[in-house]
Amino acid sequence: MRFTSCLVAAAFSLACHSSRSPASPTAASDVAAIRRVAVLGDSLAVFPSRDQSFPAQLQARIDREGLGWTVVNAGITGDTTADGVRRMSDVFTAGIEVLIVELGANDGLRGVPATTITDNLSSIVTAAQRRSIRVLLCGMETPPAYGLNYSIAFHFVFPDVAQKLSVPLVPFLLAGIALDPAFTGPDGVHPNAAGAQRIAETVWPYLQPLL
């Protein structure tokens, strides 16, 4: 089983009076003042649609509370933690101050060794910390398709990385929605709109202190 693929890129533009007139100091300072949260994730970050995804729901919550942050959805369906390592530098260049790491589900479905997942997540978190980016790690579980021992080892990857690198952890991203048809789409895995909202509610108490 594999999640299907799609990427959202966040773009920011500065309006000028004409193509030849320089940007005003006020407009330039407004751009510099934009604070960004990036979600480095997989299909769980882009379902059921980009407008209804949990990053979009987090943006709506931020806007309601007037916190002045912009959420950049850097989720790509099908991505693994190795893909996150490959893409992280591009994500960091967007002036990110907070990083939500939502990866690992596809690793579990493919039976990627727990030690490899640990190394990849640690690389992402450490690279972000070196850039003074605050990190929130999202925990995941995996079914026992590769045996109970693998599922147990997979479970402990996330709290172990969070503890070792001193970052907050959402214990289980899909808490309260996994396998529940009220919160998942036709495949029984990906969140529907209600599920995306529930994920945002699960993430929010851990994200808010970082903002």
Q: Which pLDDT tens digits describe the chain residue by residue (211 residues)?
A: 333 333 333 332 323 333 333 333 434 344 446 899 999 999 999 999 999 999 999 999 999 999 999 999 999 999 999 999 999 999 998 789 999 999 999 999 999 999 999 999 999 999 999 999 999 999 999 999 999 999 999 999 999 999 999 999 999 999 999 989 999 999 989 999 999 999 999 999 999 999 9
Residue tagged active-site, from 30, 63, 90, 187 = 187
Closest residue by Cα to residue 46 from 97, 18, 101, 8: 8
Cα 56–Cα 65–Cα 184 angle in degrees, nearest 5: 30
What backbone torsions phi and psi does residue 72 show, to the nearest 5 degrees? Answer: -100, 115
Active-site annotation holder among 53, 107, 155, 190 = 190
* Residue 187 among the catalytic residues: yes
SS3 76: strand
Cβ 40 vs Cβ 87: under 8 Å: yes
pLDDT score, position 84: 98
Query: For position 33, what pLDDT does the model report?
Result: 63
Tell me, rounded to whole angstroms, the distance of Cα 189 from its chain centroid.
17
Active-site residue, selected from the candidate residues 42, 43, 53, 107? 43
Q: Residue 67 has what pLDDT?
A: 95
For residue 162, the surrounding DSSP H or E stretch is helix 148-165
90 is known as an active-site residue: no
| Domain range annotation of the chain | 33-210
Alpha-carbon distance 181 to 199, whole Å?
A: 15
Per CATH, is 33-210 categorized as 3.40.50.1110?
Answer: yes
Query: In terms of DSSP bridges, do strands 134-138 and 35-41 run parallel, antiparallel, or are they unpaired?
Result: unpaired
| φ and ψ of 64, to 5 deg | -60, -35
pLDDT value of residue 32: 46
3-state DSSP helix/strand/coil percent for the chain, to nearest 5? Answer: 45, 15, 40
Report pLDDT for 56.
Answer: 98
Q: Is 190 a catalytic residue?
A: yes
